[in-house]
Structure 1
């Protein structure tokens, strides 16, 4: 388990108490019930009763909303995918009658919650679900080979979880035959999703990747809490993540900023994140800087090697996501990399500490759910004087 720098041991203790208090005694704490029994279902419906005593409130996320009614919630995703219009879903507590709705909501998909079986279109969902201790809800993933999470991998190995888009295309017939309670998308609109909806399989758009901040993306754990009936647990987890993240930001802000180079060449272009991007925000919050981090507008600038080298070639640290084992691998990819100061000094760090033969990477899978751990890695890299006994979760130093 990764730890944040030792300069904040009191914080760790406080967070542990906070999280324990938030989760202890919860009706949605680690489940021992038989999920098929739909524990928590309404058995004697009373329209005057509020069946959602634990309600999620949002602090950072801007791409979804949750509205509570007595026996159902309305989940609205403002941008379900690039260019998509807002879409709402009605989440009905099991045992309650279907609500009589008007207007656009009359045509909205209705999903009975808590769900018993969920198909996940993106590995970013999985870490949020396991943080909620709801791994047994996941019965399908798009590509099992890409999964890193040990709880989900054990379900794959036990035959309790299937792949439904292993060739990159949804097997519509198999999904319809399995009949999951819900399929959560990867934030794009595949042609197969319309067919699933027509066949009665609820499809919910997960578009956390359209959030511009790390904490905004992490708050999508509350969407999965709404689906699994674990709102109180999600609130405690997210509060601890947010506190840990913001404490690290303050620590980094108190140090001297460090120049850093990010990204690599791909298809003849260097995609450089700006201040408007998720990755740029992480670097800034970790106390790093580079010339394009002051730019807004588009989230990335497409640059040639010469312009990057001229303005950031002397940066002492280089952050990459390429799975290079040795510095020679980087130079073999592009001989010009050998001229970078970070390559000459050996300060190249790759976000590939935990990868699978099938292409899965814990950085992509868990980094979204736990930006506090991700920021902890970056602070330890850029400010080793703060690292203490930090254990890296996502990054590793590329060997000479």
Structure 2
């Protein structure tokens, strides 16, 4: 079981503080909030968004409408100003959406956080995976304002979806056949900043380009500052990080356990930007090992483990699942000897939903700050406590977030990252215990050459095994959410 603890509002201030607007819904940063005449032909979008990092979407502006494309799903959405005529010149339109959107819905938790980051949660009528939402203010809205999708009744769900101007969903999600379904695939971006830039995608539906641009520019600037300082201070002492997991025997894998190392592209970039190195293998994007012995051989020179398993909630359980019966006899592994075993589950809802699948997607700078803190815990003069990562070896507690932690449910969600420019980065001290086994002057990723006999063959698991138990566990609340994690492994 998780170790839970009570927290005060003060302790959560950096995570869930919001700009005060006296409980009112602010219109600052929104443009073209009024409908126009059908004869209007002038350019009504003075503020436009341009895409810098994201590769999964584009936005093209015309006088009274915008064309938003999801490049991953080949979907085209025409957002036309309310009152204007639907443009007929755009081909293969997936959905026509009048803007600004007055009512919206979202199935995935990450999409919901983007709406909160834009401060347009006053438009949200329905949310999916409601029990897993960690956001304090969305939890409060779910008490009296927002209605969870009734995904147990398809008729009710269809009615709920059709009552909204737009429903943000993902490919393969539930009830995606409505005329107002819009696919968001931010989780497939190859960079952390690319994922965060999807705030511009969502902002286009609410004519909130000014808010989206301002927020992303601040995230980008802060991210580049963290990356630059980490590169300067830690170029010669970069610990190796491995993203790992264990999947016990279940119906999803033919009752055959396996151990996994993950190499999602965005993890590569952000680990390097944090002043660390990534463990890679000569196998596929995500390597599944058939035995714990083979798995542990791949981790021999790793300094830090970030475990994403569903089944290992505490240190002793994780060690057992990894095939280490006696921790005292496993000090030849740096990550064991130094006790640097983390899980991204520090922030949770009362039902066990993870904040890891919410704010880190929208706020790349905060995620980078956290990884700098994992790789170099003394980078800040007074030390750093990660927001989402907890150290299992040190029995870090879990922070449970409730609706009572919300101070203004209609304000924009603030970026939880610190202001990098005001942080005096501390240089790494090779004599520090955190770096006791780190190979110095190594800047390249660590490559482990896997043997075909050590890994799970493509055909050895059933087709359902693609629903990795990591995903099944973390997103047990909804089969919809499983797709997110599968895509990011």
TM tier relative to shorter chain: 0.7 to 0.9
State the distance in 2 between where 1:88 and 1:269 align: 40
Correspondent of 2:190 among 206, 212, 218: 212
Distance in 2 (CA, whole Å) between partners of 1:388 and 1:131 is 30
Question: Retained in 2: the 8 A contact 1:156–1:162?
Answer: yes
Matched residue, 1:98: 86
In the alignment, is the contact (CA less than 8 A) between 1:120 and 1:184 conserved in 2?
A: yes
| Residue 24 of structure 1: aligned partner | none
- The match for 2:168 among 160, 181, 184 is 184
Cα distance per residue 1:136-173 (max 9 Å; x no partner)? 12211112101111111111012x11222555xx7344
Question: Is the counterpart of residue 146 in structure 1 residue 129 in structure 2?
Answer: no
Q: Residues 32, 250 of structure 1: CA spacing in aligned structure 2 closer, same or farther, 3 A cutoff?
A: closer
Say if 1:214 and 1:368, in contact at 8 Å, map to a contact too.
yes
- Cα distance in 2 for partners of 1:348, 1:102 equals 52
Q: 1:374 aligns with which of 367, 371, 393?
A: 367
- Kindly indicate whether residue 228 of structure 2 is the aligned counterpart of residue 250 of structure 1: yes
Structure (1 or 2) with the greater helix fraction: 1
Asked if 1:269 corresponds to 2:252, the answer is no
Q: Could you say which residue in structure 1 is the equivalent of 2:103?
A: 117
Return the alpha-carbon distance in structure 2 between the equivalents of residues 46 and 161 of structure 1.
36
Q: Relative to structure 1, is the Cα distance of residues 290 and 215 closer, same or farther in structure 2, using a 3 angstrom cutoff?
A: closer
Partner of 1:7: none
Show the counterpart of 1:163.
148
Inter-partner Cα distance in structure 2 for 1:58 and 1:89? 16
Rounded to whole Å, the distance in 1 between the matches of 2:97 and 2:196 is 23
Structure 1: stretches of 5+ with no match in the other structure: 4-19, 21-29, 81-85
SS in 2 for 1:265: strand
Does residue 395 of structure 1 match 2:389? yes
| Cα-to-partner distance string for 1:219-267 (whole Å, 9 max, x where unaligned) | 1111110111110111011011111112212222221211223212224
Secondary structure of 2:362's aligned partner: coil
Aligned length: 353
| Rounded Cα–Cα distance in structure 1 between residues aligned with 2:138 and 2:174 | 27
Which whole-Å CA distance do the structure 2 matches of 1:161 and 1:315 have between them?
A: 45
Q: Matches of residues 276-287 of structure 1 in structure 2 within 5 Å?
A: 277-287=265-275
Local SS of the residue matching 2:228:
helix
| Greater displacement, 65-74 / 352-361 | 352-361
**1:378/1:141 Cα in 2 relative to 1: closer, same or farther (>3 Å)?**
same
Q: TM-score, normalised by structure 1?
A: 0.80
Distance 1:104 1:39 in 2: 26
Structure 2 distance, partners of 1:165, 1:219, is: 30
Deviation at 1:62, TM superposition (A): 0.7
1:280 offset after TM fit, Å?
A: 2.7
- Does the C-alpha gap of structure 1 residues 39 and 265 become closer, same or farther in structure 2, counting only changes over 3 Å? same
Cα distance change on mapping 1:166 and 1:109 into 2, 3 Å: closer
Whole-Å separation in 1 of the counterparts to 2:171 and 2:42: 37
- Pairing 1:221–2:199 present: yes
Partner of 2:300: 313
Shift of 1:39: 7.5
Q: Tell me how far 1:44 sits from its aligned partner.
A: 4.0
- Separation in 2, partners of 1:345, 1:385: 15
Question: Which structure has the higher relative contact order (CA within 8 Å, separation 6+)?
Answer: 2
Structure 1 pair 78–43 and aligned structure 2 pair: CA distance change class (3 A): closer
Residues 160-215 of structure 1 deviation map (CA, whole Å, 9 limit, x = unaligned): 11222555xx7344332561111111x22346322x23xxxx00011112211111
Do the aligned partners of residues 370 and 362 (structure 1) sit closer, same or farther apart at CA in structure 2, a change above 3 Å counting?
A: same
Range that drifts further, 221-230 or 312-321:
312-321
